[in-house]
Amino acid sequence: MSDSRILVTGGAGFLGSHLCERLLKEDGEVLCLDNYFTGRRRNVAHLIADPRFELMRHDVTFPIYVEVDQIYNLACPASPIHYQHDPVQTTKTSVHGAINMLGLAKRCRARIFQASTSEVYGDPTVHPQPEDYWGNVNPIGPRSCYDEGKRCAETLFFDYHRQHRLDVKVARIFNTYGPRMHPNDGRVVSNFIVQALKGEEITIYGDGEQTRSFCYVSDLIEAIVRFMATGRDVPGPINLGNPAECTVTELAETILRLTDSGSRIVYRPLPADDPRQRQPDITKARDVLGWEPKVGLEDGLKETIAYFRSSLTN
């Protein structure tokens, strides 16, 4: 890693900013790309003084010509509110962005990481979801721009791997949370925390019995770095997430308790194609990366609540 020049697309986003921070600690030179659609300059403001860090405003749907040794492709809005705002652009970001970054990796002979998603499994009929499950995805629904965009990006990565012998790493990331989440991203953790801290009604869509598995950001970043350090014979895909499953109602009740909030829970209709169950099978990550999450949900939520409490008052 030392002296490597590393490109992180979506680097000013929630995950990207934590990744940039980690890579700098390992003595890499980091070029952070972001178009600031959902990323925020404040997420990486504390890194700008580091001479090994460079920040560039750029949209991955357009080619970029730089010299790098490694690429982490994280650029894409990842919450329904953001990716449904401009669904055509979301698909372009996943597909054109993948083509542009793969072309760059091919030219530079760089190792390239793709931040794929558990959404490639759609509303799963297999539980928990292993990597060899092909998914149950609606190709024409309101979430398809993201689900199918990421599925197509995976196709491109593996075709470049087979056709051009490119060194690729494809990770399917499950729900991740922690400091620097966007307060208006519409995800359950950030939604519930912000609503609880403001004393607003906690909005649950559906009956609240749908399940999610939440991975704290530091655990995920550790997994990503370990995956990138594996040999070229380990392209993935590998599920990265926390297999500890809870219902959405249980999550809301935990956040109410940890924030000591007087907010009440209200229920609203479930959006189209919202998955009923989401839990990663991380057998492969345990075996190949020697990794599993260490941060429990309550400990991670306390850190996240502290972040939002501070950012809402500043």
Distance CA(236)–CA(255), nearest Å, equals 34
CB 282 within 8 A of CB 241: yes
For residue 271, give the DSSP letter: P
Distance CA(105)–CA(232), nearest Å, equals 14
Nearest to 168 by CA among 124, 114, 118, 226: 114
CA–CA–CA angle 258, 260, 261 (5° rounding)? 115
Helix (H) or strand (E) segment spanning residue 149: helix 144-164
Q: What is residue 78's predicted lDDT score, i.e. its pLDDT?
A: 67
Query: 5 forms bridges with which residues in the sheet?
Result: 29
Note down pLDDT in tens along the chain; length 314 residues. Answer: 557 999 999 999 999 999 999 999 998 899 999 999 889 999 999 999 999 999 999 999 999 999 999 999 999 876 566 667 788 999 999 999 999 999 999 999 999 999 999 999 998 899 899 999 999 999 998 888 989 999 999 999 999 999 999 999 999 999 999 999 988 877 889 999 999 999 999 999 889 998 899 999 999 999 999 999 999 999 999 999 999 999 999 999 999 999 999 999 999 887 765 677 788 999 999 999 999 999 999 999 999 999 999 987 76
Domains contained in the chain, CATH given: 5-178+214-243+279-294 (3.40.50.720)
Distance CA(176)–CA(173), nearest Å, equals 8
* The model's pTM: 0.94
* Residue carrying structure tokens 């399940």: 211
Distance CA(314)–CA(179), nearest Å, equals 15
> Helix-strand-coil percent breakdown of the chain, rounded to 5?
40, 20, 40
Catalytic residue among 121, 146, 177, 216: 146
User: How many Cα neighbours within 13 Å face the side chain of 220?
Assistant: 29
Helix (H) or strand (E) segment spanning residue 302: helix 297-313
Query: How many residues comprise the chain?
Result: 314
Helix (H) or strand (E) segment spanning residue 106: helix 87-108
Nearest to 8 by CA among 109, 107, 96, 115: 115
Q: What is residue 277's predicted lDDT score, i.e. its pLDDT?
A: 78
Both tokens assigned to 137: 């995805």
In the annotation, is 146 catalytic? yes
Distance CA(86)–CA(89), nearest Å, equals 5
Distance CA(109)–CA(1), nearest Å, equals 16
Both tokens assigned to 177: 């949370």
